[in-house]
Amino acid sequence: MEALLVNYVEKSLEQYMRRNAVFLCERLYAEFPSEVNLQLLARCYLNNNQPHSAYYILKGMQMAQSRYLFAIACLEMDLFCEAEAALLPVKDLCAEVPNGAAVQYLLGIIYRNTDRKNKSIEHFRKTLSIDPLFWAAYEQLCMLGEAEEAAVCFGDATVPCAQEHYLGNASSCLLVADTDHSSDSFQRFGLEYLSRSLLKQREGNNIRDICENNHGGPSLTGAVSQSKNSCCSTSFLSTPSPVPTQLSDVAPPPLVRNMHLRQSEDSLRPSTQARRKFACDNESAQIRGSLFFDSGLRRSARLAAGKRSLNTSQGSENKAKSLHASTKLSSETCSSTFCQGELMETYEVAVSEFGATSSSLSSTTDVKSIQHEIENTKLSSFISDSATIKCGISDTMKLLRTLGEGYRNLCMFRCKEALNVYQKLSSKQYNTGWILSQVGKAYFELVDYLNADYAFSLARQISPYNLEEMDVYSTVLYHLKQDMQLKYLAQEMILVDRFAPQTWCAIGNCYSLQKDHESALKSFQRAVQLNSRFAYAHTLSGHEYVIMEDYGKGVECYQTSLRVDARHYNSWYGLGMIYLRQEKFEFAEHHFRQAYQINPLSSVITYYLGTTLEALKRSEEALEMMEKAIVIDNKNPLPKYSKAKLLVTLGKLNEALEILEELKECTPRESCIYALMGAIYKRNKKYDKAMLHFGIALDLKPSIVDVAKIEAAIEKLIIPDEMEESL
């Protein structure tokens, strides 16, 4: 019963029948309580999105795999301290949690979420040192701004490490299989005589059926399960029951799998009747044949019957040669296709021939020779395949090197370099949802919203189900004032996943564009409820509070976002804008500088930092920042206008006038440009030109404040500067 339930639970998990797996596994654990079955139940809960259930049943368990699953449940519930304690080695048990690279990665996630950046970086780097193909660890390092160049992490020097990591598991699998074959061959094939006392010992144990491994489900039985999972060719080997192994230090009795029981026309023969057959010593030879070949429905049985009908006058030598040939054929089939079913059927043919000549051959000696030949064939096939594996690893590392270089540049906000790197990818890789979303995000950071819209729209066509970076896409449409397109995007995202935070960010941007800021704020708060560690949702909430002039709550949202992600420069920028509006220029400078250190290639951040320095009467530093902003984005008119104002302040009127003439060609409808040109002409005592430009500025309908300033300047136009200053 235990074997049957375990098999069906694994099968249900493979078929994503999660509710069925949970129900059956609860019955399994109620009938056969053991920590191994408890681990299987925890896996069912985790797959069924019930981390709290897995947490409660695994709490206090000390087995390594139990602690690993417990840590996964804790991470799902944001219980970082308990997850850390579960993953760290237990000195009393001297047992480290398995899955080395994965454990290091999880520890890195825990340390990052608990503001221990240095430890987080250390564990992410350990993850890559164990497994260079662990992309998620490199991705986290990029987000932290601490990633090494992709040529180092995925370079040629790391290829041997990746090969050793991949090939080492396969070679160790062969060694484990060889050890099991040589020491317990009679257990593996069931060809030796089984005593009555041994059968009595087994009657209380439930032996897992061979179909458990045919379904490919992972098993959590310590070292034995690791050897099973790492090498599919050992699926026909017997494995001790996990219950006594885990509950006591006494080694369990050797077990033999009932590979094929005798079947009647309507049902299987009860297992107790099969056991009673072993009671008679003089019927052992008949049992060897009936145990494997009484089923008339198996193709192997028909083959075996055909073999037995051949002329028995052929010598035992010819039979032995035929046995070795068929066994060699089966081993080649196993090593080339990893198909367990065909391997078992071929073995049955070989064993049937062996059973026909059992009187003249020693079963133990011949089985050992068969096993050695199988292992030699496995090893030769393994060596021949290693060249293909090495070539595949090299190609994979080359691809990751390009992707890593592009992603690192994007996380460092070197967006133009990232775009150049992504252009090197093949069309198959470039025309995927993830790459096009990264390209769209790069254009967004470059404030090139039209190209960003185009890239994101292509990503939506290729992967309409992918919501990653779609929150950024909604912001792109917000800046482009594409109301209908933004509504359509929000509706599509609702159909894909209404419980994704990206969906509610898009809905919030849609409301914000319609000036319904309260509904927008509710949408952003809903995104925060769905994922409290989604930094962009906190930032968008802060933006809405600023629009509503609730600066206190805006500051709280920005600070919460920074606690989630200290490199989220949008929140540093938002705080700087609040303090700039409140005329707290020192605080504004601090936050703008923090944002500038994270993203020094943002023209907007550089411009506002220069504006803050200008307010602090540090004109030279402000002028330097404006020049940097112009170099970063020559199309942005704000830094050019501010630079002209600073030049006027420094008395460099001609240089300022040149910049304004250039701006007038680019943005002819801006009244402030003509007003500043009028002031410059006034200072140069060119009153006619000054009056002309003041008049143009008024015609362009400036704001009420600017109208008052321009009219005051016109009234004082004929007054000499000396008199104006005295007034």
Provide the strand spans (E) within 176-313.
none
Residue 8 has pLDDT above 70, yes or no: yes
Please state the rounded mean pLDDT for residues 395-410. Answer: 93
Domain for residue 51, yes or no? yes
Residue 38, φ and ψ in degrees, nearest 5? -65, -40
Q: How many residues are recorded in the chain?
A: 727
What digits encode the pLDDT tens for the residues 262-298?
343 343 334 444 433 334 444 444 433 433 333 333 3
Residue 611 has pLDDT above 90, yes or no: yes
Residue 7 has pLDDT above 50, yes or no: yes
Residue 100 has pLDDT above 60, yes or no: yes
The residue ranking higher by pLDDT, 30 or 255, is: 30
Q: CA 474: distance to chain centroid?
A: 23
The per-residue pLDDT of the chain, averaged, comes to: 76
Total structural domains within the chain: 1
Domain for residue 337, yes or no? no
What digits encode the pLDDT tens for the residues 111-164?
999 999 999 999 999 999 888 889 999 999 999 999 998 888 887 777 777 667
Residue 630 has pLDDT above 90, yes or no: yes
Domain for residue 158, yes or no? yes
Which pLDDT value is given to residue 124?
Answer: 95
What digits encode the pLDDT tens for the residues 526-555?
999 999 999 999 999 999 999 999 999 999
Please state the rounded mean pLDDT for residues 458-471. Answer: 94
Which pLDDT value is given to residue 372?
Answer: 60
Lowest mean pLDDT among 88-97, 441-450, 493-502, 615-624: 88-97
668: number of CA atoms within 13 Å, CB side?
Answer: 1
What digits encode the pLDDT tens for the residues 594-606?
999 999 999 999 9
The residue ranking higher by pLDDT, 410 or 334, is: 410
Which pLDDT value is given to residue 376?
Answer: 57
Which pLDDT value is given to residue 300?
Answer: 39
The DSSP secondary-structure symbol of 96 reads -
Q: Are 691 and 717 contacting, i.e. CB atoms less than 8 angstroms apart?
A: yes
0.85 exceeded by the pTM? no
Which pLDDT value is given to residue 393?
Answer: 82
Sequential DSSP letters for 450-489 = HHHHHHHHHHHHH-TT--TTHHHHHHHHHHTT-HHHHHHH
Q: Are 435 and 454 contacting, i.e. CB atoms less than 8 angstroms apart?
A: no
Which pLDDT value is given to residue 336?
Answer: 40
Lowest mean pLDDT among 295-304, 361-370, 609-618: 295-304
Decide: helix, strand or coil at residue 270.
coil
258: left (phi over 0), alpha (psi -120 to 50) or beta: beta
Which pLDDT value is given to residue 252?
Answer: 39
Q: What is the CATH number of the domain that holds 141?
A: 1.25.40.10
Which pLDDT value is given to residue 151?
Answer: 85
Please state the rounded mean pLDDT for residues 378-395. Answer: 67
Which pLDDT value is given to residue 305?
Answer: 40
The enclosing H or E element of 524 equals helix 517-530
What pLDDT band is residue 177 in, cutting at 50, 70 and 90? very low
Domain for residue 257, yes or no? no
Task: Locate 594 and state its tokens.
Answer: 């923090």
What digits encode the pLDDT tens for the residues 631-660?
999 888 999 999 999 999 898 999 999 999
Task: Locate 458 and state its tokens.
Answer: 């292509």
Residue 624 has pLDDT above 90, yes or no: yes
Which pLDDT value is given to residue 90?
Answer: 62
Decide: helix, strand or coil at residue 33.
coil
Domain for residue 136, yes or no? yes
Domain for residue 264, yes or no? no
What pLDDT band is residue 169 in, cutting at 50, 70 and 90? low
Sequential DSSP letters for 268-299 = BPPHHHHHHGGG-GGGHHHHHHHHHH--TT-H
Domain for residue 107, yes or no? yes
Instruction: Report the share of the chain in percent with pLDDT over 70.
Output: 66
Return the exposure string of 636-671: e unless at least 16 CB atoms fall within 10 Å of the residue's CB, then b: bbbbbbbbbbbbbeeeebeebbebbeebbeeeeebb
Which pLDDT value is given to residue 156?
Answer: 72
Which pLDDT value is given to residue 517?
Answer: 95
Domain for residue 4, yes or no? yes
Decide: helix, strand or coil at residue 248.
coil
Residue 344 has pLDDT above 90, yes or no: no
User: Dihedral through CA 197, CA 199, CA 200, CA 202, nearest 10?
Assistant: 130
Sequential DSSP letters for 689-709 = HHHHHHHHHHHT---HHHHHH
Instruction: Report the share of the chain in percent with pLDDT over 90.
Output: 54
- Residue span of the structural domain in which 96 resides: 1-171
Neighbour tally for 699: CB within 10 Å: 10
Lowest mean pLDDT among 59-68, 453-462, 469-478: 59-68
Residue 592 has pLDDT above 90, yes or no: yes
Neighbour tally for 305: CB within 10 Å: 12
Which pLDDT value is given to residue 182?
Answer: 38
What pLDDT band is residue 685 in, cutting at 50, 70 and 90? confident
What digits encode the pLDDT tens for the residues 511-531?
999 999 999 999 999 999 999
Maximal CA-CA distance, the chain: 134
What pLDDT band is residue 719 in, cutting at 50, 70 and 90? low
Q: Are 687 and 661 contacting, i.e. CB atoms less than 8 angstroms apart?
A: no
Residue whose entry in the numeric block shows the structure tokens 């690791």: 226
